[in-house]
Amino acid sequence: MRGISVQQLNWEKYQQDFAALSAIGETEAGMNRLAYTEADQEAHGLLAKMAEEAGFEVKWDGAGNLWITRRGTDDGNPDMPPLLLGSHMDTVPGGGKYDGLLGVMTAFHAMRLLEGMPQRRTVTLIVFRCEESSRFNCATVGSKLLADRLNGEMLKRYVDKDGISLYDEIRKLGGNPDNLFAERNYIKNAFGFIEMHIEQGPVLEERDTDIGIVNSIAAPYRLRITVEGTAAHSGACPMGSRKDALAGAAEVILAVEQLGRAYADKRIVATVGKCDVINEAINIVPGLVELYVDVRGIDKDTVTEVVTKLYEEMGRIAEKRNLHIEPAVLGQETPVKLNDDMAELLVEQCVPNRLTFLHMVSGAGHDTMYMAELTRATMFFVPCLEGISHNKAEAVSDEAVQNGLKLMYSTLLRICNLDPEEEREKEEMHRRFVEAM
């Protein structure tokens, strides 16, 4: 089997369409295409138009997810369930161009490249809504709704800074988050699901590797830690009389880092991403600080162990400093193991395309986590510059984009064009081989 050449990629068309979509919501400070905003709607509209021009079927589901389907010649054949692809188009404020959109455009363009090829299996691309938690403090909304992990009632509780609820935003665009039965069933009966994404971390670049095949997605355990001391005048309160909440918080920050490092070989990462001094002023000894902690791992017990040790550490700091330290659990998600058979199909296509690959963990959450509850799901990464993401400096080399596109296209050809006779023969050979062992 031969690999895909750059000449087969229709690269200029890809670049042109990516540029058109990534211009929507672009600002000086980076991308601002927050979920369900005008810019997000515009991007969905433009992609739908491109899909119609390519002759694909287009629809939006009750969550506002965009479904783009290219029917295969064997559509309706129960032995040929559809292959699903997916990613998202919404961004964080001040984000990069590639987070989400690269996966959507790679899947979409690979589907277009099937033009003129014998495509037996139907392929459906799902553009999930509201993958980023920035606007509503709730991530992967579209895929969670599809997986029945959220419902309309729950969406009413998530509001943006202007007080608009997720529920109202979805209703406004004509959606009904409680009516996703048909779509959930379609996914349950699918062949499997593939998401391509930028790594958003430095591993592939550091190891000079083209493709990261994701075995597991680490799940965040999130805490808000309130450190309470006593506010005092910075000049008038002697050092010995202080209950400085920020100095206590500094010890908590270092404890989180220390635990992350101690458990790094068990695939733990631990981060304090937010530190808010309440009523802060240069001449006030801080009386109240809120920290936001994110601990992730691929094994739930290990994450729990780290969090337990953090609690012990906080107890020690509180006692030593005479502070009140109160943790509140904001969320506790379960790490997700992805499907090995689907991953194997990706590995198979790396070889003829001369793509180096490694198996890895995704530290970041993705819609694939929820697709994995419904079907055989896999995911692959391409490297991004210095691992920078959620930042306007996010960058992906043309070569990395082309590598992702080759792998996606190659995999579609493999899964959708397969000759059923040949398949049956191969399966028979495999059966005989196993029996002979």
Give min distance, CB of 238 to a copy of itself, in A.
7
Nearest residue (CB) to a copy of itself, 38 versus 276: 276
CB 29 within 8 A of CB 51: no
Give min distance, CB of 262 to a copy of itself, in A.
9
Q: Which two tokens stand for residue 233?
A: 């005048």
- Residues recorded for the chain: 437
Nearest residue (CB) to a copy of itself, 19 versus 281: 281
Nearest residue (CB) to a copy of itself, 336 versus 416: 336
Give min distance, CB of 319 to a copy of itself, in A.
17
Instruction: Work out whether strand 83-88 and strand 123-128 pair parallel, antiparallel, or are unpaired.
Output: parallel
- Which residues lie closer than 8 Å to 37 by C-beta, 6 or more apart? 25, 135
* CA–CA separation, 113 and 184 (whole Å): 27
CA-nearest of 141, 165, 164, 197 to 338 is 197
Cross-strand partners of 225: 291, 327
Nearest residue (CB) to a copy of itself, 62 versus 260: 260
* CA–CA separation, 103 and 91 (whole Å): 13
CA distances from 208 to 202, 386, 389, 426 (A): 10, 11, 18, 35
Nearest residue (CB) to a copy of itself, 182 versus 236: 236
Instruction: Assign 221 to helix, strand or coil.
Output: strand
Within 28-171, strands assigned E span 30-31, 57-60, 66-70, 83-88, 123-128
Nearest residue (CB) to a copy of itself, 205 versus 373: 205
Instruction: Assign 324 to helix, strand or coil.
Output: strand
Nearest residue (CB) to a copy of itself, 49 versus 261: 261
Sole residue written with tokens 């939006």: 60
Nearest residue (CB) to a copy of itself, 50 versus 159: 159
Give min distance, CB of 403 to a copy of itself, in A.
19
First to last CA, the chain: 27
Nearest residue (CB) to a copy of itself, 62 versus 287: 287
Q: How many CA atoms lie within 13 A of 42 on its CB side?
A: 13
How many angstroms from the chain centroid is the CA of residue 345?
21
Q: Which amino acid would we find at residue 386?
A: E
Give min distance, CB of 151 to a copy of itself, in A.
24
Give min distance, CB of 144 to a copy of itself, in A.
16
Phi, psi (degrees; rounded to nearest 5) at 231: -65, 140
Give min distance, CB of 93 to a copy of itself, in A.
9
Give min distance, CB of 116 to a copy of itself, in A.
38
CB 350 within 8 A of CB 407: yes
Taking the CA atoms of 73, 76, 78 and 84 in sequence, report the sign of the dihedral they define: positive
Nearest residue (CB) to a copy of itself, 161 versus 432: 161
Phi, psi (degrees; rounded to nearest 5) at 121: -95, 140
Give min distance, CB of 200 to a copy of itself, in A.
4
Give min distance, CB of 163 to a copy of itself, in A.
20
